[in-house]
Amino acid sequence: MGGIIFGPVRSRRFGESLGVDLSPYVKQCNYDCLYCELEGKKAQDSMESPLEVETILREIQKGLAHFPNIESLTITANGEPTLYPYLYELMLRLEDVKGATQTLLLTNGSLLCEPSIARACLLFDKVKFSLDALSKEVFKKIDRPSKTINLEQVLHGIYDFSADFMGELYAEILFVKSINDSLEEVKKMAKFLAPMRLKRLDIGTIDRPPAYKVERISEKQLESLGRIFLDFGIPTFVAKRIESNRQENLILTQEEILKTLAMRPQSLQDISTLWHSSTKKILQELLQSGAVERIESNGEEFFRIPYDNKIQ
């Protein structure tokens, strides 16, 4: 199915969804977040070699034919999906292809201030944006945005979009120890989010190997930060490290394993509970060949595609 479609991915919060990767071959993002689960890479303002809308629609059609019962299509990217220059056209034409399937956009929110991009984002059923800081210094430190990005404009864009968007709006904050977890910063974020009609705010911390050497905050601290957002009247969900003990027995091909690990490193816990023994056997072969590596991050073991983990 090429590298554009991945999954299905099951999430307790968004049900079963098929991922659509608008930049399947290389990371392209206008941020270079400390905590990114993808390789650290200099931020860029535009997408190079964007895929044809036709190609993406064809892959989505194949994906939907293969998995007719999925609840949603999650539009994402190895990086930031709103950098895709034909997002509006893709969304318009997707209407004829997707039937009753819902559409979900995962974005860093930085380009919602651009009217042409906001117009495309308004066509989604659900939008989840991330917000990591309200002060300039913290924003620069944690998200390492491209030089053309101005935090004030980003915040205005998110705010205006939240007023215009008719679908379900979600926000996400990822906390990194000693970077964006001060009480002052948290209260600023809560004040900013409180007036929005958020379906839910998800807060979490690092639980996959990050692009740079940064640490997670404790579950206790996360819980107490969650209470601050609740005090501001924001429906808040605190993401716990281990979400499931279900036995899924996922059978994946070698190509699907590589794609899954390229999108998101998997912990030993994920693999033991979710993957079928035949999938684990292929993973062992990939480990032996060096196509996959086993690493330790924040006290847990993970499997991922190797890359140079260097500060740029």
Which residues of this chain interact with ligand SF4, rule CB under 6 A? 29, 31-33, 36, 38, 79-80, 108
Chain mean position to CA 6: 13
Closest distance to ligand SF4 from the beta carbon of 62 (Å): 25
Give the total residue count for the chain: 312
Comparing CB distances to ligand SF4, the nearer of 33 and 113 is 33
For residue 238, the cross-strand partners are: 203
Among candidates 291, 252, 246, 308, which has minimal Cα distance to 272? 246
For residues 5 and 36, which CB has a smaller minimum distance to ligand SF4 in the complex?
36
Cα 131 to Cα 8, 62, 99, 177, 273: the distances in Å are 26, 34, 31, 16, 31
204 contacts 170 by C-beta, under 8 angstroms: no
User: What residues form DSSP beta bridges with 203?
Assistant: 173, 238
Is 48 in a helix, a strand, or coil? coil
> Residue 211 has what DSSP assignment?
S
Q: Measured from the CB of residue 97, what is the shortest distance to ligand SF4 in angstroms?
A: 26
Identify which of residues 37 and 168 has a Cβ nearer to ligand SF4 in the complex: 37
Query: Least distance from C-beta 296 to ligand SF4, angstroms?
Result: 21
Nearer to ligand SF4, 70 or 81 (CB): 81
Q: Pick the closer one to ligand SF4 by CB: 118 or 211.
A: 211
Compute the Cα dihedral for 129, 19, 269, 14 and give only its sign. positive
* Cα distances (angstroms) measured from residue 108 to each of 99, 131, 173, 263: 27, 7, 10, 16
Residue 303 beta carbon to ligand SF4: minimum distance, rounded to whole angstroms: 19
Q: Considering the complex, what minimum distance in angstroms separates the CB of residue 29 from ligand SF4?
A: 3
Tell me if 300 sits within 8 A of 20, measured CB to CB. Answer: no
Quote the CA–CA distance of 214 and 206 in Å, as a whole number: 8
Q: 38 vs 234, which CB is nearer to ligand SF4?
A: 38
Q: With respect to ligand SF4, which residue has the nearer C-beta, 36 or 186?
A: 36
* Closest distance to ligand SF4 from the beta carbon of 129 (Å): 10
CB of 288 to ligand SF4, least distance (A): 29
Q: At what angle do helices 53-66 and 87-94 cross, to 10 degrees?
A: 40
